[in-house]
Amino acid sequence: MTATINKPPLAKVTAVPPPPIEFKRDPRYLALRNFAISMTIFNIFGFTILGFEQPWLWPFLALATGYTTEIIMELVQSWFERRTPRFLTGSPRERMAFFLPAHITSLAVDLLLYANSRLWPVLFGVVVAVSQKAILIAPIGGKWRHFMNPSNLGITSTLVLFNWVSISPPYMFTEHVGDFFRLGIPMLIITAGTVINATLTRRIPLIVGFLGAFVIQVLVRWWFFDVAFYSGISVMSGVALVLFTNYMITDPGTSPSKTHNQFMFGAGVAIVYGVLMSFNIVYTLFFATTIVCGLRGGGWWVAWLWQRYKKRARTGATVTTTGGVAASGAVAA
């Protein structure tokens, strides 16, 4: 006779969906949204009023290239991680938020690169800028994150590989407006960027470190290398540096979060800028940012490898000590 064991019924497991994203309270989403809106409005005014010299169709082609690259990289990454692509899940608003970084990056690369009548170098820069976020990553703060500023790396890669491509001329941003608007446009950009960086990205210490060190490096070059002081300091009043300070170097995804680290990051970019200027290297702001971001990512890799090495060394010492104690016990027995 076989005893029958009555097993309790299995409890029904119900999948609990993740809590919805509270967009109104998410500073990262708000920062991305406001950056995207600002870049879009600036492009619209640029092509209709200010005098941007690129063809008006190029921003649309850059956006299409950036969106496509983002989708392809997400499909590949989700396939390796055995998950659903992010642009296929969530609400329509969440899917839109997925494309905001690509939107900002594509417009920035198209805005700042000037390739005369050739479009493909600009699209190359967009592809590099968007795709590198899934390739150049480091263990930052316990999470795998990209460390190279996307649009900056796309621009510098294009400038290095194609020496006939240049940065958009500074006069382009205020070519078709009067003196009043030439002063008003930088002030408007500074105001909008300061509001975003003060309330959402929290990158004011980074800006202070960058601008403070920028003035110091001008003074150092004036004192030791006989560089015209007013020529060096006048760069700070240009639209290009205003855009760079408020919309590129403050990228929250590739800059530190802690206050003192932000200050050092911004100051580091200005110091590297001064060193490169002393060697008469052109497109200095972009190369300086690339160097500092690369050093930051390399530093995180070195720290991670060092921690792994110490952990293995402690584990090996523990195993050796345990084995020695066991062997001594066996001999004593």
How far is CA 84 from its chain centroid? 25
Helix, strand, coil shares of the chain, percent, nearest 5, are 70, 5, 25
Q: Are 149 and 251 in contact (CB under 8 A)?
A: yes
- Per-residue pLDDT band for 15 (boundaries 50, 70, 90) equals very low
Q: How far is CA 159 from CA 65, 163, 284, in A?
A: 19, 6, 11
Of 149, 182, 324, the C-alpha closest to 254 is 149
Write down the pLDDT at residue 7. Answer: 45
How far is CA 11 from its chain centroid? 46
* E strands in the chain: 113-114, 137-140, 143-146, 166-167
Please give the Cα distance from 17 to 27 (Å, whole number).
22
State yes or no: pLDDT of 125 exceeds 60.
Answer: yes
State yes or no: pLDDT of 328 exceeds 60.
Answer: no
Overall number of domains in the chain: 1
Whole-number mean pLDDT of the chain? 85
147: left (phi over 0), alpha (psi -120 to 50) or beta: alpha
State yes or no: pLDDT of 142 exceeds 90.
Answer: no
Give domain status of residue 112, yes or no: yes
Of 187, 179, 177, the C-alpha closest to 239 is 187
Q: Are 266 and 206 in contact (CB under 8 A)?
A: yes
Give domain status of residue 133, yes or no: yes
Give domain status of residue 44, yes or no: yes
Mean pLDDT score, 36-52: 88
Higher pLDDT, residue 127 or 181: 127
Please give the Cα distance from 296 to 302 (Å, whole number).
10
**Angle at which helices 284-332 and 259-278 cross, to 10°:** 120
State yes or no: pLDDT of 329 exceeds 90.
Answer: no
Write down the pLDDT at residue 10. Answer: 42
3-state secondary structure of 281: coil
Give domain status of residue 131, yes or no: yes
Write down the pLDDT at residue 92. Answer: 84
For the chain, what's the residue count?
333
Q: Are 214 and 268 in contact (CB under 8 A)?
A: no
Mean pLDDT score, 253-272: 95
> Which CB contacts under 8 angstroms, 24+ apart, belong to 218-223?
218/274, 220/274, 221/274, 221/277, 221/278
How far is CA 215 from its chain centroid? 24
Q: What is the pTM of this model?
A: 0.84
Give domain status of residue 211, yes or no: yes
- Tokens at residue 73, please? 């990289």
Which domain does 189 fall in, by range?
24-307
pLDDT tens profile 82-94 = 999 999 988 888 8
How far is CA 223 from its chain centroid? 34
Phi, psi of 52 (to 5 degrees): -60, 135
Give domain status of residue 156, yes or no: yes
- Per-residue pLDDT band for 24 (boundaries 50, 70, 90) equals low
Give domain status of residue 170, yes or no: yes
Write down the pLDDT at residue 183. Answer: 73
Give domain status of residue 316, yes or no: no
pLDDT tens profile 71-119 = 999 999 999 989 999 999 888 888 888 999 999 999 999 999 999 889 9
Mean pLDDT score, 276-300: 95
